[in-house]
Structure 1
């Protein structure tokens, strides 16, 4: 099969002929129809993001495709089925704290690197080997619109954070980083889950205006000034009532000041979920006041990715129409043009746009 291969960080991708994946028990081989390209993929491939990634590798995290073959322990999946491929691969020998690798993207620690030896190859390829539990049935998919379904791989990240926050219908959510790639998707997901209102702070005025246009009265935008106290007051005043949940999705380039300003808008007994990349490339750690957390009974938790069952629930949100995948604009590239796709993703910044490779 053909795959786009990264041989060294900073080197260009080369489209090569590589061995087809070999099927084993507990595994599925998928013919990749559409693979989404992250807006920061160029930073990963250059080494700037410092991701744990064993080279050479076919990058690409997640895909939409059709089952080619299943192992002997698969009882529901069959050849030809449309599936969403979840790139979050978990070890099976420690259900409490499994090691994790993100196919074609990164790993967590030495155990995650060990998983990469077998499941490390990503979706910028004609075929993809995934654990059986990582292939989620999609039902019928129009081949022409397969690329749009890759939005699920993007939306799964904020969805995982909102599940961790135990978001309930009618609650008010503040999405910190709402004008970014994952943040803007988080706005859409929160509203699809029934949030009564989403507060969307940011500095990108054009994107704030776009969010208002897309989501109407259930969205309240706030233009950040950089002054922590002033911004906290603005965000609090923008909400129609107490803020129940704060979800932080700010990228590594952001500092801790906007994270803290947003987090401390949450009401007594509120929940704060940290999912962004702040501090991952150095810089200050986030400092939250102990007395404020204790006296207001605040729940603060980190969340990396999402639980496996989130895939099925999010597919159902999309199938029902509550999460409208039609709001994402799709630009597609052939596998031979993978390098162009990565450059395009970086330029588009990903806000309600999908860059897709169609092998």
Structure 2
């Protein structure tokens, strides 16, 4: 089969034949129909982002395709089934604290390295091997729609945070980082889940206006000033009532004060979920006041990625018409043009934009 190989950091992907993957027990071979290209893929492939990957590797993160063959223990999957290849691979030998890797993309810790060495290659190829539980059925779709279903890759990340927050229909959510790629997706998912209102702060006036245009009166935008106290006040005033939950999806480059302004806008007895990157590049941490957390009975938790059932649940939101994949603009490339796809993704990132390789 043909694949795009990353052999050396800083060198273009090599498009060449490699051996077909073989399925063992607990594994599935999927014919890749569409694979999203993350906007920062070029930074990973150049070595600018020092991801712990072992080369050579067929890269990529997540895909939509059809089951080709299954291992002997599969009981539901059938050849021809449309599936989302969930890149979040969990080790099977510790149910309490599994090691987790993103197949074809990154790993964490020594256990993650071991797991990545086995479930190594990603979807920039005609076929890929995934754990059986990571080939999640999405139902029948038209082949032409496979590229839009790659939006699952983006939507699932904030969905994991919203599930962790126990967001309930009728509640008010504040999305810190609402004008970013994951933040804008979070707005869409929260509304699909029945949020009464989403408060969307940001500095990009055009992106804020676009959120309002797409989703209407249930989105209340706030232009950030950079002053922590002022911004917090404006967020609270924009909400039609006390803010029940805050979801932070800010990138590492954002000052901690910007994130803290949003986090501390939550009501007493409210919930906060942290999925962003404050402190990852050094500098001050979030530094939330202990008395504020304790006396206001704030629930504060971190969340990385999403639970195993999230793909099936989100597929239900899409099938019900509550979440419209039509919001996403997609640009496609052939596998032979993988390097052009990576460059395009770097230059054309942002809310509701996708670059997709179609092997």
Q: How is 1:236-255 mapped onto 2 (pairs within 5 angstroms)?
A: 236-255=236-255
* Residue 49, structure 1, aligned to residue 49, structure 2: yes
| Equivalent pair of 1:101/1:120 in contact (CA under 8 Å) | no
For 1:247 and 1:47, how far apart are their aligned partners in 2?
30
For 1:9 and 1:283, how far apart are their aligned partners in 2?
28
* Residue 257, structure 1, aligned to residue 251, structure 2: no
Question: What residue in structure 2 maps to residue 207 of structure 1?
Answer: 207
For 1:102 and 1:3, how far apart are their aligned partners in 2?
18
| Equivalent pair of 1:212/1:219 in contact (CA under 8 Å) | yes
Question: What residue in structure 2 maps to residue 220 of structure 1?
Answer: 220
* Residue 6, structure 1, aligned to residue 12, structure 2: no
Question: What residue in structure 2 maps to residue 16 of structure 1?
Answer: 16
For 1:281 and 1:57, how far apart are their aligned partners in 2?
27
For 1:161 and 1:25, how far apart are their aligned partners in 2?
32
Deviation at 1:256, TM superposition (A): 1.2
1:280-331 C-alpha deviation (Å, 9 max, x unpaired): 2333222111110011000110000000001110011111110111111111
| Equivalent pair of 1:102/1:120 in contact (CA under 8 Å) | no
Question: What residue in structure 2 maps to residue 298 of structure 1?
Answer: 298
For 1:209 and 1:271, how far apart are their aligned partners in 2?
27
Question: What residue in structure 2 maps to residue 283 of structure 1?
Answer: 283
**SS of residue paired to 2:116:** helix
Alpha carbons of 1:315 and 1:136: their partners in 2 closer, same or farther (altered >3 Å)? same
| Equivalent pair of 1:2/1:15 in contact (CA under 8 Å) | yes
Q: How is 1:23-42 mapped onto 2 (pairs within 5 angstroms)?
A: 23-42=23-42
Where do 4+ consecutive residues of structure 1 move more than 6 Å?
Answer: none
**SS of residue paired to 1:268:** coil
Aligned residues: CA RMSD: 1.0
Deviation at 1:168, TM superposition (A): 0.2
* Residue 176, structure 1, aligned to residue 176, structure 2: yes
Q: How many residues align?
A: 359
* Residue 130, structure 1, aligned to residue 150, structure 2: no
TM norm structure 2: 0.98
**SS of residue paired to 2:150:** helix
For 1:229 and 1:40, how far apart are their aligned partners in 2?
33
TM norm structure 1: 0.98
For 2:347 and 2:280, how far apart are their aligned partners in 1?
23
| Equivalent pair of 1:38/1:350 in contact (CA under 8 Å) | no
Question: What residue in structure 2 maps to residue 149 of structure 1?
Answer: 149
More divergent stretch after superposition (242-251 vs 8-17): 8-17
User: What stretches of structure 1 of length at least 5 have no aligned partner?
Assistant: none
Deviation at 1:110, TM superposition (A): 1.1
Question: What residue in structure 1 maps to residue 121 of structure 2?
Answer: 121
1:143-192 C-alpha deviation (Å, 9 max, x unpaired): 11110000011100000000000000010111111111011001000000
Question: What residue in structure 2 maps to residue 338 of structure 1?
Answer: 338
Question: What residue in structure 2 maps to residue 350 of structure 1?
Answer: 350
For 1:9 and 1:285, how far apart are their aligned partners in 2?
31
For 1:301 and 1:53, how far apart are their aligned partners in 2?
28
For 2:158 and 2:11, how far apart are their aligned partners in 1?
31
For 1:21 and 1:284, how far apart are their aligned partners in 2?
46
